[in-house]
A and B are shown apart, each in its own frame.
Chain A
Amino acid sequence: MIKALMARWKQGYRTMEFPSAGLMLPPRGLGLPKLKPGRLEKAAAACPYGALTAGEKPGLDMGRCIFCGACANAAPEAVEFTREYKLCASGRGALVITDEDFRRAESLGAGLRRLFGRSFKLRQVSAGGCAACEADCNVLQTIGWDLGRFGVQFAASPRHADGLLVTGPVTKNMELALRKTYAAMSSPKVVIACGACAISGGPYAGHEECAGIPPEIPVDLYIPGCPPHPLTILDGILRLIGRVE
């Protein structure tokens, strides 16, 4: 027992402050992309996922982007990745970065915020990804991040959940299980698509084995990334329930 107490003392207090000023992705990390004045054709040709559109109305779709940086390497004059981690959006269209300002996710309406703002339980369904998104959701439950302090927890049953957090491209083999999980949750309920796979298929976009989130399961929050950094996930969830501005 004394050794456990000594270890506790040595390990120290490790929960990070969040949000806090100056918080950024690591120096080599790829965060919010920025379109520069250069032409996008070369960058678009370098993207294996068709996330970039060149031409009159250029855009970079963060929902398809897996943040491999191939575009910025091919055409540094056209695309740049900043270290900004706040990438979440409320609408699918808002994930497309243009020369206009990026519109971050908005919080739920006042009614839902009153219900979920101080206690928000999520059921996570992993549906065909690589398990990296799951790992970065799990990490939020460690003492370093302490998701629970914000009133947010992952629940073991859909019956106990206010929200559904989906990861993976939703394989055909998981489609039914996802539908049943959603159906088992009581209303009102919100849906979060976490990671490029859940949003667009990600690296597996276009695979016949993948179905995607069915239209009957409307998404309220999109968290882009492959996988999203835990900072991005946490920011998105807290933005949704109105805990950060």
Chain B
Amino acid sequence: MKVEHLSGFDFGAAELDPSIFFETAASRLASGGRALAYFALPEGEAHRLVMAVGFDREGRIEVYSTQAYGPFRALTPSFPQLHLFEREIFEQAGLKPEGHPWLKPIRFNTPGAVPGVADYFTVHGSQVHEVAVGPVHAGVIEPGHFRFQCHGERVFHLEIMLGYQHRGLEKKFIGGPDGRSLHYAETLAGDTTIGHGWAYCGAVEALSGVNVPPRAQILRGIMLELERLANHTGDLGALAGDVAYLPAASFCGRLRGDFLNMTALVCGSRFGRNMLRPGGVNFDLDAALIHELKLRLENTFRDVQSAVSLLWETGSVADRFEDTGVVSKEAAEGLGLVGPVARASGVGLDTRRNFSSGPYEGFTLGVSGSGDVYSRAYVRWLEIQKSAELIAGWLDALPAGPVEAECGCLKADSAAVSLVEGWRGQICHFALTGPGGKFRHYKIVDPSFHNWQGLALALRNGEISDFPLCNKSFNLSYCGRDL
């Protein structure tokens, strides 16, 4: 069933017979569709499988559902992009996808599960060795367990086992919206507060049928692009640090903070907490603040330009970035990668363009690359320039009017799909309401959910010493994936 992005739809109309469900899903995924979400919805004693498919080129979304009582047909063998979704369904609902190659736990949240204890890929041979890292890492970063199967320095395979950050978020949305729901969304991944917060607000607004005033839409756009600027700038600095090019690393580390401080100037929080609310935003800009923001944006962007251009002009940086950690376009499409990482491999997906809405109507930037670390870095630089241009334009032409609209009760027995292009890529929130207009289920798909497997592939046939560099070029979220 075709559904509109960011508008409520009658969930009952998405029902299909089981055989037709799998046929439809397979044919749609084979003809340019990409799974936005695939999950099991509890329904009395049984479950209902729900899949949302996005057609990026047409900017179209379809949703199908079918009842499931037990084992069902795995689609992963034909469509690897579903591999983690099907493992998740097995872990959460106990429904077995028959034919899935390896149903390993993904969050270790079932009775008796011990985090990190599972079967791993192994390579055998007299000179093969294994390197295990984590969950606690050397830096100030989130926990995860990585295992490298190596021959000398050469990595045959990297296996990434996560779940340490699992704090039971999704089910806490059920019965909401309440006073905590928005905070859950804001802390799904702390560095993506605006991205996830906006996706949540979009879902609530779709279900209550409220129209967000134009001024609030633009203010949200400003905050989302500031978030992108901060993180992309930080990533470029971190990449520089990992190839021991300290000037750009030092400059970008400071400049990332300047973007965070601009966010704090608007809403008090460096991460954009408290900025959004369903129906609009909590903070407005007056002439003095607009002036201050423009000034800071101009100065900071100039410094970013000077810091980042060093990367492209330095031979030792290019030497480490080029041809390292290549992910082909076929692999990126096959795994359903999203965000700058996918664009760097030549996948033409940007939610701001393909599913444009609000302030992004008419968004045109298209970027591409050859799938290596260099491309993933350069795509970020192109996006930094675009974000700065967008914010400057919006600050010059902020529409007058209110910054919030009254958001009433949610429609009962309804559903909505909300997509936002966070700085890591496409965020998908799929909200369903029950008879009383309260959340009956809330599915969150962080871009990292799709992209972790991309990092594993990037390491194939690379060297262990390339891992930090590849890892930074993806910079994925553990907490957004673990929920």
Contacts and interface: CB of A to CB of B under 8 A. Distances in A.
Q: Do A and B come from one complex?
A: yes
Interface of A: 3-4, 7-8, 10-11, 14, 25-30, 46-49, 66-70, 124-139, 141-144, 154, 156-157, 168-169, 171, 173-174, 176-177, 181, 202-204, 207-210, 226-227, 229
30 contacts: A4-B310, A4-B314, A7-B307, A8-B247, A10-B303, A11-B307, A27-B265, A28-B264, A29-B264, A30-B274, A48-B179, A49-B180, A125-B136, A126-B140, A126-B143, A128-B479, A131-B478, A132-B187, A132-B271, A135-B271, A141-B253, A143-B250, A143-B253, A143-B254, A171-B164, A177-B136, A181-B136, A209-B109, A209-B166, A226-B187
B140 A169 contact: no
A181 B249 CA distance: 29
A131 B479 contact: yes
Given A134-B142, A156-B139, A203 B187 contact: yes
Contacts of A227: 190, 271
A63 B168 CA distance: 21
B140 A154 contact: yes
Contacts of A135: 190-191, 271
Given A26-B261, A30-B274, A173-B115, 11 more contacts: A7-B247, A66-B183, A128-B479, A130-B188, A131-B141, A131-B478, A132-B187, A133-B190, A139-B257, A204-B169, A207-B167
B347 interface: no
A6 to B, nearest CB: 8
Contacts of A136: 270
Contacts of B141: 126, 131, 134
Contacts of A176: 115
Contacts of B169: 204
Contact of A26 (B183, B254, B268): B268
A115 B256 CA distance: 34
B140 A137 contact: yes
A183 to B, nearest CB: 12
Interface in B297-314: 303, 306-307, 309-310, 313-314
Nearest to A204: B167
A26 B265 contact: yes
B183 A131 contact: no
Contacts of A126: 140-143, 165
Contact of A229 (B142, B166, B179, B270): B270
Interface in B178-204: 178-180, 183-184, 187-191, 193
A130 B185 CA distance: 10
B135 interface: yes
Contacts of A139: 253, 256-257, 260
A126 B262 CA distance: 26
A9 B173 CA distance: 51
Contacts of B179: 46-48, 70
Contact of A4 (B138, B164, B168, B247): B247
B268 A29 contact: yes
Contacts of B477: 131
Contact of A177 (B135, B247, B313): B135
Contact of B143 (A67, A177, A229): A177
B79 interface: no
Contacts of A29: 264, 268-269
A207 B142 contact: no
A169 B333 CA distance: 36
Nearest to B252: A142
A157 B138 contact: yes
B251 interface: yes
B417 interface: no
From A27, A68, A137, A209, residue with most partner B Cβ within 10 Å: A209
B430 to A, nearest CB: 21
Nearest to B231: A135
Contacts of A49: 180
B11 interface: no
B138 A28 contact: no
Contacts of B166: 128, 171, 173, 209
Given A7-B306, A66-B183, A173-B166, A30 B268 contact: yes
Contacts of B303: 10-11
A56 to B, nearest CB: 25
B240 to A, nearest CB: 11
Interface string B313-341: 11000000000000000000000000000
Interface string B106-148: 0111000001000000000000000000011011111100000
A177 B164 contact: yes
Nearest to A165: B140
B440 interface: no
